[in-house]
Amino acid sequence: MDWRGKRVLVTGGRGFLGRHLVRGLQARGAHAIPVGRGDADLRDRSATRLLFEAVEPDIVLHCAVQGGGIGWMREHPVESGRDNALINVHALDAAWRSGARVFVGISSACAYPRQPATIPFPESELWNGRPEPTNDTYAQTKRLMMSLGEAYSQQFGLRCAFPMLANLYGPGDHLTPERAHVVAALIQRALARPEALVVWGTGRATREHLYVEDAADGVLACAAAAADGVDVGPINVGTGVEVSVAELAEAVAAACDYAGPIRFDASRPDGQPRKCLDVSRMQELLGWRASTSLAEGLARTVAWYRQVLEQEPT
């Protein structure tokens, strides 16, 4: 795809993933327009439509989200459900009304059932059960967006892609503990040099971790395919590598040069028992795969956090 001159609206464009998407678009010659909460409250239908109509995008990359880590999700089930449902519906409708050709809605592996029949999760398992209870309302808003996107595609011809991303990590993640994802939270704890590195849950749950720069590249591959007329729809975007929380904690400790003990707090939720994506459709349809290993990605991420912490006032 020739991105040069394309007007690309990036909601959440100043957030964790959004900033990397904007850089990737600029490198490809696109006219990236990042927007955030200060530009419009996407929970408001009229404000969302006015924003999109003013931009007149060719392509919409919808990253805006009300979310956080497993702790935040558990404490804010209403906001994570209500707010994201409004944000997703309004963004999808405004994209169509403003004349966009392509809508890419960032989805998540959490949309899968808590215990799918097949692991790694193939896209065919998406609707076969209810999501993990600790993030159920959030996951349901992703399902709503994907289902409604298929309807807009069928009825109005809006080309849609919904990359279901593995757990993201990398430079630029949240610094506040209640919003931080698991890798960011562990790195911040390890760099604080505690007597023991405390990890939520039993350590037995498994996750798949995707470096944010790889995620941005994968999202753009989805957008390019959709723009070329490929029926992308919901698609797994990840590494296909399953890592236990215990293994992740050890890898983070090594990357942070932390030599203390690792302790698991079983009173805290594990969340979904296993989470790993089947990325065969991604590789076949997009001809794309993630290139950053977990060790390499953790090293880059720890270096970024060290730099940020050094700049903080003492």
Residue 297 located in a structural domain: yes
* φ and ψ of 305, to 5 deg: -65, -40
Structure tokens that stand for 273 in this block = 């028992």
Rounded to whole angstroms, the Cα distance separating 94 from 114 reads 32
**Please, are residues 154 and 98 in contact by the beta-carbon 8 Å criterion?**
no
C-alpha span between 58 and 181 (Å, rounded): 32
**Would residue 152 show up in a list of annotated catalytic residues for this protein?**
no
Which domain range does residue 105 map to?
7-311
Say if 269 falls within a structural domain.
yes
Residue located via tokens 């969340």: 271
| Tokens linked to 22 | 């904007």
Q: How many CB atoms lie within 10 A of CB 56?
A: 12
pLDDT value of residue 175 = 76
> Two tokens at 209?
């971790």
Two tokens, residue 274 = 């296993």
Q: Is residue 1 part of a domain?
A: no
The region, left, alpha or beta by phi > 0 then psi within -120 to 50, assigned to residue 222 is: alpha
Q: How many structural domains compose the chain?
A: 1
In this structure, what CATH number is given to the domain that contains residue 242?
3.40.50.720
* pLDDT for the residue numbered 115: 84
Q: Give, for all 314 residues of the chain, the pLDDT tens digit.
A: 899 999 999 999 999 999 999 999 999 999 999 999 999 999 999 999 999 999 999 999 999 998 766 677 788 899 999 999 999 999 999 999 999 999 999 999 999 998 888 999 999 999 999 998 888 999 999 999 999 999 999 999 999 999 999 999 999 987 776 667 789 989 999 999 999 999 989 999 999 999 999 999 999 999 999 999 999 999 999 999 999 999 999 999 999 999 999 999 999 888 888 899 999 999 999 999 999 999 999 999 999 999 988 876 65
- With respect to residue 160, please indicate whether it lies within any of the assigned structural domains: yes
Q: Which residues of 239-258 are buried (b: 16+ CB within 10 A; e: fewer)?
A: bbbbbebbebbbbbbebbeb
24 found inside a domain: yes
**Does 80 fall in a domain?**
yes
Strands 59-62 and 7-11: parallel
Written as six digits, the tokens of 174 are 């949240």
pTM for this model (two decimals): 0.94
Cα distances from 241 to residues 153, 209, 250, in angstroms, run: 32, 8, 16
Q: Which of 112, 138, 211, 305 is catalytic?
A: 138
- Domain contains 2: no
Q: At which residue do the structure tokens 């209870």 appear?
A: 133
Q: Are strands 31-35 and 7-11 parallel, antiparallel or unpaired?
A: parallel
| Residues paired with residue 167 on neighbouring β-strands, in sequence order | 209
